[in-house]
Structure 1
Amino acid sequence: MAQYTPMMQQYLKIKAQHKDAFLFFRLGDFYEMFFEDALRASKELEITLTSRDGGGEDRIPMCGVPYHSSENYIKQLIEKGFKVAICEQVEDPKSAKGVVKREVVQLITPGTVMEGTMLDEKENNYLASISHFNDGTYTVSYNDLTTGENSIALITDGFDAVLSELFNRPVKEVVIDPGLDEAKQLMLKERLNYTISFGTETKIDDSFEGLLVNIHSEKSITGFGRLFNYIQQTQKRSLDHLRPVVPIELKKYMSLDMYSKRNLELMETMRKQGKKGSLLSILDQTITAMGSRTLKKWMERPLLSQEEITKRHEQVEGMLDQFLERETVREQLKSVYDLERLAGRVAFGNVNARDLIQLKASLTSIPNLLETLRQFDHPSIGSLYNSVDPLSDLAQLLDESIKEDAPLTLKEGGMIQDGYHPQLDEYRDASRNGKKWIAELEAKERQATGIKSLKIGYNRVFGYYIEVTKANIQNLPEGRYERKQTLTNAERYITPELKEKEALILEAQDKSMELEYELFLQVREQVKAYVQKLQVLAEQVSKIDVLQGFAHIADTHRYVKPSFNDNRCVDIKEGRHPVVEQVMKEESFVPNDIFMDESMDILLITGPNMSGKSTYMRQLALTAIMAQMGSYVPCESASLPIFDQIFTRIGAADDLVSGQSTFMVEMLEANHALTHASENSLILLDEIGRGTSTYDGMALAQAIVEHIHEEIGAKTLFSTHYHELTSLEDELPRLRNVHVRAEEYEGNVVFLHQIQEGAADESYGIHVAKLADLPESLIQRANHLLSTLESGREETVAAVEEEQLSLFVEKETQEVKPSGLEKQLKNLNLMEMTPMDAMNELYRLQKSLKS
């Protein structure tokens, strides 16, 4: 350390305390980075790498970013999962003895971002923490620093359940105990792509006991304590906007594991991992950013309480019935900014005057919104506005104090309204009159000298001056002005009178700006007292926004209000897939009924690929989720049970990260369903067993169907290409065969996408290949091989029957030696061959036999 300069020693000491972050070290107008930070940052940010002498033998790598444009660089690092420690000067350089004192004033991490430009306004930005206990239980705590929201869940079903819970929310960073098993840490990094941080302190200071009023168990307090202490250590500023921790009672919500959320494409599509094409893209008809975030929370946790679900449906119905009033609500919501995050910025201390103008505009719109809601006739709408506090006194304070055209900067004036503070008005008057006097002086001097181009200007170095071009200097009366500065084309002068007025103007301006800043801080503190009320108001407006969105989409896409029954009956008439019908346009989508009464638990679905089996299965799950969220559903009518859980195994996907094959993923997902499902669950299994050999797959598929039928009793849709399984209808009383209709027309297959009772008679695999435009010669060859295989199968069956009939016939005494062809057949390992390999081998043997 001694070899380095004092400033570099200071840097190294601070960096040693923040080894896992980029240290933005303030030097003048730049944030500088040195050593390894500089090498990494220059690559990540694509900025120039330089070096400097720091006192050691070698020059030190260095790179930097301008202070005034640092936000964009910080954003880039945060989006890549890095942390940034902001190190500022904390003493006046003029009074410093030696190196100016510097400290880290904030640690910005993916889970603690507060700046609006770094955030997705329609998505929460959660920081999570995991705590594990000796009895195998875990707590998962959440905090959104931008909104002040805190919540916690107690999980007793193992670490897989923890992963599913975390997958449920847009978490960017997770805080864990360093003692958490390394394999589990790896899962968090690689499977969920989280930034990992460590926290050991769990005790919460008594001054923050108000955050714990809703939680009482020692585990919950410890779990949240780890999260809270990490926030305190990184933010180093007011956390007054944090709300009391809300316990997440998982038994009150439908359980959706991470497989189901992915397979059903609720928030994003599997292929592009984007919102477009997901259920969210269809249902998000909200107007405000906070409404969009609330919708996601409802989608993450569909309700189990029929009373609560019915209440939401009635409120949607009330809005649906009155189109004009609903459209007025939508229009009025456009004037409401993000109250939730504005309240957070106020409490956090980084709000500016423009933010307060947005807050005022939002509060001004609330009374009109409430008045419109009062015009709805449905009694259920009353609960949406009766308890809303429009905070009129806060709106009045902001109207009287903050200018409409206030600048973004806080220390250059122009924020506070005229008439708000008498002393400020005096300073402004002095400044304005002084400037008026300057303008009058300029006109007087032009007239006195006869120089029309004479002007009075101002700069920070010389103050006010009189400027005369060199061509007109000869016209100046001798001794009228005192020369101050010579330019190429002009001379600048001053007069005692001008300097005296300058002192008065500048003093008024300086004092005015200082007072404005003080007044702004006072206003901000007054607004801070309303933070909790603002958070409540934001919650109420968000709910109104989501419900009007549900009504809007129900009206636009012909959705209906579902009903619920207690006899586990699924009865959907002309059900539709909410996403696929929009892609295809409603006119071309083929709706289908789904009926499963008390005596029917399993639908075994057969039919060709591309016929719509997966769509049929998914639309039932999405309809159930939408219904239990409180939304209307896409069908002509729907009567449903309330499902406690939904499990899916749809689509083949290798888990490359953990090195698991398609078949292993398939078995893990199936096992998860079989282990956790109850008779009140919904299970969707699509072509189970296709990832292994035919006989293995068929055996597993049948065993799974029988297990669900006999041991679980859950409502289940099971699609398969194993036509042999259709015989289970005769053996399992609560199973029914259905199939997707397809017709052959002039050698081509026509998919009708209609579900009918009974089993499919053909798979149409080669027809599908023809639709995919495979070469005609290949299609003909496949048809020939199919005929050969089918005839060979008949001969094999006949041979087997003949062999069975002659089991007890006395053997010939003479032993028959096997032929070469028999030996080749005997040595074939059919279980390890693909269907195409089998066809080729059969063709070779047949050709050999013919020759």
Structure 2
Amino acid sequence: MEVINANRQEPQLNLDINGQRSFVKYHAKLEEKPTTTVRFFDRTDFYSVHGADDCELIAKLVYKSTAFVHQLLPDEPDKLSYVTLSKANFNMAVRELLLVRNFRVEVYVRPGGASTTSNNWCLEYRGSPGNLIQFEEILFGNKEILVSNNLLSLQVRLVDGNQRRLGVAFVEQNDCQFHVLEFVDNDFFTELEAIVVLLGPKECLLPSLDGEYIAVKNLLERNNVGVTIPKRSAATPAEKNDLLQDLNRLIRFAKGQQEDALTFPEMQLTMAMEALRVAIKYLNLTNDASNLGHYEIKQLNLKRFVHLDSAAVAALNILPKPGTHPNSPGYHWQSILGVLDHCRTPQGHRLLAQWIKQPLRSIEILNDRHDIVQCLLESPGTLSTLHDDYLKRIPDVLMLTKRLLRQKATMQDLFRVYQVVLRTPRIVNTLLSLENATVKNVLCNAMKSFLEDLSGLKQLVEQVVDFEAIEAGDYLVKASFDENLQDMKNDMSRLLSKMERLQQKAADDLNMEKTQVRLDNVAKIGYHLRVTLKDDSALRKNKNYKILDVVKGGVRFTNEKLSEYSEEYSSLCEKYEEQQKSVVEEIIKVANGYAATLCSLNNELAQLDCLVSFAIAALAAPTPYVRPKMHKEGTGVLMLKDLRHPCLELQEHVTFIANSVAFEKDACNMFIITGPNMGGKSTYIRSVGTAVLMAHVGAFVPCSEATITMVDSILGRVGASDNIVKGLSTFMVEMIETSGIVRTATENSLVIIDELGRGTSTYEGCGIAWSIAEHLAKQTKCFTLFATHFHEITNLAETVPTVKNCHMAAVADAENFTLLYQVRPGIMEKSFGIQVARLANFPDVVVQTAQRIYSEFEDEYTEKQSQSDKELLDKIDAALERLTTTGNDVDINEAELSELVATFAKDIKNLDSEYFRALRSVE
């Protein structure tokens, strides 16, 4: 028997000894599961979790303590841990596991429910980060959907050499879209990583974990994407035919279009379509009627977007931590998305999160976005009206449309859709009042078109919804719409009139005005009368009335006749609701025909919300943002004047010191930045990357003036740390990230690199950093900010004219050390490591010892350098002597002389000298 122990404030699992042994035996026979899957057992009134690892996880997650872990058969060898959860705690745990921790969830039920004691459990519900369909009611219910529900499916085949051919299918379940793509990638899967960053899937389906898929799995896990191996992955001819049938059922065909998916060019992408087949089966899309006839299929065009690698996303703090809500403290300064996200609608939040991961390479679209943001900023009254009045009253149309499609919508949902259709024209008229051509063409025209298509839905709602009942808080079908409903409505009206007469009689009996005695209707109590607390004494003196309860709003009371009318009214309401169910079902079926148009209108409202959010972000900054002047790719200009970091300047007690950057093709394309730790090098280079990214999503930038050439990629390697979980050292992480930069960067890219080479020996690190900087400066010729502690690399500026040195200024004397956070031309002449240690409050004895050892090493190095210079000069003299002696004493011909000169050149090349290496690099 299973009961809830109220004293412990948690459900209690009570099984007799036989029941415990029976369940333990059943649990032992379950197939082994991954550690990232948690199994729940539905016990009707509550849930249980079993197994040491799952119990510890859930106990800490829900109860913050492992003290809530109990044992079945505690005194026997086969004892089994368990934790119980109420339904509310189960819902909370599922949300955390699926949306934040990227775990999988399985729920087992018994067909007989609580009435059976057998262990005839079966797996009823299954959810994963990319497959939330069966848990949407738990996860979202009537809440806002702020997360994407996306799934990636991959097929990989080895082709020539180190090349791999990939077939990719991406399923956007919220927007009902299939994206497919086939491409050739290198052995580092550079393009695949860009796709993962671009699409942001929570889960990826792979056929196996053998061969090429091992490297793919490592890449996915590095980017926090869960990996799933479906049980069946090989496609038989019959299953391929099943794919065509599934697509014909799922795809929304245009009017007049041949309803055969085989006519789509995407069907020629055989690997991608196989990946899509696996995804459709895994998600079981065809078994949900709401999916049928609503999906689109498109080829993904990667060239539309700026290439971002995962290192750049992390380096630029583009996204907040998983699970962070827009209303949480500090949200607006913890990430670039947070800085820009002032959206008022759930659809706006979702779209902005997509935009920030998909910066555009289309200068036309970006100019349109910048035009609209500028227009809104120039009309602050209109901006305020849109943000504070109109948009905040727009519900999540996507959620409402899903409820319509799944036949779960209520009359209240239908009325909320109607409100959107009513409010959107006000938004359109407000935008048209701006008299801006871009606003009209990009936003207004599309909204007006969709509103015309929705006019039929508007008329339907006005015909069937009882608006008078809504004012009383009831969402009912208009009685005149159905004869039976009309009869019941008339009876309800007569009862209400009788109750109002009883209200007047009560006022007379109590010697009060009718307005002093209220007729209220509350759930579970029904219709009753209420007076204020100060009139309580008059009520208690009258024996004809029964007091129900006393609340803050007054004293509730009734009499026998009112109770009788109230019960009869409640009975009629139940019959009315039962009768209107069939009517509502028919109405919802008709409303389903408008689902596609509602989704399109939803997208337009989301786009407006994002652009309004950009304008609000530009105004909300301590110093307002400016519009960037965008130039086409290849123009070769990047000028950011008085640049600030948008996250740091929003923090309290921070006065940000602005800096500038000026790159121009063939004049300067690289800054080598030196300076002390904590001096602002990382912040400076991140600020540049952040400003370029913001401009490429359509936002204004934190500068006083900005001219930005369109880039094809933003690549970064800032900071490094061990990734123990994935078995990668600091240096290996550096090399993986930097390898991707070298392979991907073109002359139209922006690269930011910080402290490269610190994960290995000093000389090796310096050599690697130098060679990469030289490659980017001379071969790639892209915009590059290269912050380093290896001062030797600054010599590159002497041999490559497009490389400039700059440093983060600091002032130090014997007692004081001040960081100025200003970028100045030239090289930082000395290191300030010991001053930074003093600034960090190291004990004086430690600082003094460090200074002494540093001085000793410096003296030793100077002595060795002098000796090395002397030896070098001796070697040069010897080489010259061999050349001149041979040439003077022997009569040689021209060929022999050439051989002597070549020998001399070889001697010089073999000298271990930075000077001669620099000379050779010029050649």
**TM exceeds 0.5?**
yes
- Match runs of 1:47-126 below 5 Å: 71-72=91-92, 74-75=94-95, 78-79=98-99, 81-85=103-107, 107-114=126-133, 115=136, 118-119=139-140, 121-126=145-150
**Aligned partner of 2:420: which letter?**
S
Distance 1:378 1:336 in 2: 24
Change (3 A) 1:139 1:510: same
Query: Which residue of structure 1 lines up, in the alignment, with residue 391 of structure 2?
Result: 333
Kept in 2: contact 1:403–1:416 (CA 8 A) = yes
- Deviation, structure 1 residue 419: 3.6
Q: Is the CA contact 2:366–2:696 (under 8 Å) kept in the aligned structure 1?
A: yes
- Give the letter aligned to residue 250 of structure 2: F
Query: Does 1:422 find its partner at 2:483?
Result: yes
Secondary structure in structure 2 of the residue aligned to 1:137: strand
Counterpart residue type for residue 531 of structure 1: A
Give the deviation of 1:49 after TM superposition.
7.1
SS of the residue corresponding to residue 770 of structure 2 reads helix
CA–CA distance in structure 2, aligned partners of residues 174 and 785 of structure 1: 53
Q: 1:549-698 counterparts in 2 under 5 A?
A: 549-557=613-621, 558-565=624-631, 566-583=634-651, 587-698=655-766
> Could you tell me which residue of structure 1 aligns to residue 458 of structure 2?
395
Q: How far did residue 550 of structure 1 move?
A: 1.4
Shift of 1:68: 9.2
CA distance in 2, matches of 1:124, 1:744: 51
Partner of 1:196: 228
User: Could you tell me which residue of structure 2 aligns to residue 165 of structure 1?
Assistant: 195
User: Which amino acid is 1:635 matched to?
Assistant: C
Report deviation, 1:16: 8.4
Asked if the contact 2:62–2:89 (Cα under 8 Å) also holds between the matched residues in 1, the reply is no
Alignment partner of 1:549: what SS? Answer: helix
Percent of aligned positions that are identical? 23
AA at the equivalent of 1:84: E
The answer to whether 1:385 aligns with 2:444 is yes
Residues 108 and 121, structure 2, Cα contact 8 Å, conserved in 1:
no
AA partner of residue 650 (structure 2): Q
Counterpart CA distance in 1 for 2:396 and 2:32 is 33
**Contact residue 24 and residue 31 of structure 1 kept, 8 A:** no
For residue 762 of structure 1, give the secondary structure of its aligned residue in structure 2.
Answer: coil
- 2:485 maps to amino acid: L
Q: Which moved more, 1:348-357 or 1:333-342?
A: 348-357
Equivalent AA in structure 1 for residue 603 of structure 2? E
Q: Secondary structure at the match of 1:386?
A: helix
> Could you say what secondary structure the match of 1:604 adopts?
strand
Partner residue in 1 for 2:269? 218
Q: Any gaps of 5 or more consecutive residues in structure 2?
A: 1-17, 234-238, 254-260, 506-522, 525-559, 879-923
Is the alpha carbon distance of 1:118 and 1:406 closer, same or farther for their aligned partners in structure 2, counting shifts above 3 Å? farther
Structure 1 position 757 matched with structure 2 position 825: yes
User: Does structure 1 retain, via aligned residues, the 8 Å contact 2:170–2:180?
Assistant: yes
Q: Are the aligned partners of 1:173 and 1:196 in contact in 2 as well (CA < 8 Å)?
A: yes
- CA shift, 1:797, in A, is 2.8
> CA distance change for structure 1 residues 251 and 505 in 2, over 3 Å: closer, same or farther?
closer
1:267 aligns with 319
Tell me which protein shows more helix as a share of its residues.
2
1:422-571 matches, cutoff 5 A: 422-430=483-491, 433=494, 511-557=575-621, 558-565=624-631, 566-571=634-639
1:280 deviates by 0.9
Residue identity matched to 2:131: T
Aligned residues: 743
The whole-number CA distance in structure 2 between the counterparts of 1:535 and 1:784 is 71
Q: CA deviation at 1:674?
A: 0.8
Shift of residue 164 of structure 1? 4.2
Give distance in 2, aligned partners of 1:191 and 1:278: 17
Secondary structure at the residue paired with 1:141? strand
Contact 1:128 1:173 in 2 (8 A): yes
- Does the 8 Å contact 1:400/1:420 carry over to 2? yes
Deviation at 1:75, TM superposition (A): 3.6
User: Please, which moves more after superposition, 239-248 or 104-113?
Assistant: 104-113
What is the match of residue 713 of structure 1?
A: 781
Write the distance in 2 (CA, Å) between the matches of 1:703 and 1:555: 43
For the residues of structure 1 that align with 2:369 and 2:285, how far apart are their CA atoms? 41
1:232 to 278, 284, 293: 284
Secondary structure class of the residue paired with 2:677 = coil
Q: SS of the counterpart of 1:334?
A: helix
Q: What does residue range 696-735 of structure 1 map to in structure 2 within 5 Å? A: 696-735=764-803
Query: Structure 2: which amino acid aligns with 1:308?
Result: I
Distance 2:801 2:600 in 1: 53
Say which of 169, 173, 177 aligns to 1:145.
173
Contact in 2 for aligned 1:51/1:63 (Cα 8 Å): no
Q: Deviations over 1:131-166 (max 9, x none)?
A: 334543223333343443443343422545334422
Q: How far apart in 2 are the matches of 1:746 and 1:405?
A: 82
Q: Select which of 239, 249, 257 maps to 1:207.
A: 249
Amino acid at match of 2:132: V
* 1:152-202 per-position Cα deviation (integer Å, ceiling 9, x unaligned): 343422545334422444433333324665634465457525162515366
Kindly tell me: are residues 616 and 400 of structure 1, through their superposed partners in 2, closer, same or farther at Cα, counting changes over 3 Å?
Answer: same
Equivalent in 324, 334, 340 of residue 381 of structure 2: 324
1:257 alignment partner in structure 2:
309
Contact map agreement 1:608 1:740 (CA 8 A) in 2: yes
Q: Is the 8 A contact 2:305 2:361 kept in 1?
A: yes
Q: C-alpha deviations, 1:630-656, integer Å up to 9, x for none?
A: 111111222222111121111121122
Instruction: Give the gaps of 5 or more residues in structure 1.
Output: 53-57, 94-98, 445-458, 461-493, 810-851
Q: CA deviation at 1:588?
A: 3.8
Measured in 2, the distance between the counterparts of 1:271 and 1:699 equals: 41
Structure 2: how far apart are the matches of 1:634 and 1:621?
12
Counterpart in 2 of 1:96?
none
1:174 paired with 2:204, answer yes
Contact 2:42 2:107 (C-alpha < 8 Å) held by counterparts? no
Shift of the alpha carbon at 1:332?
0.6
Per-residue Cα deviation, 1:101-158 (whole angstroms, up to 9, x for no partner): 9997754433232536515733322232223345432233333434434433434225
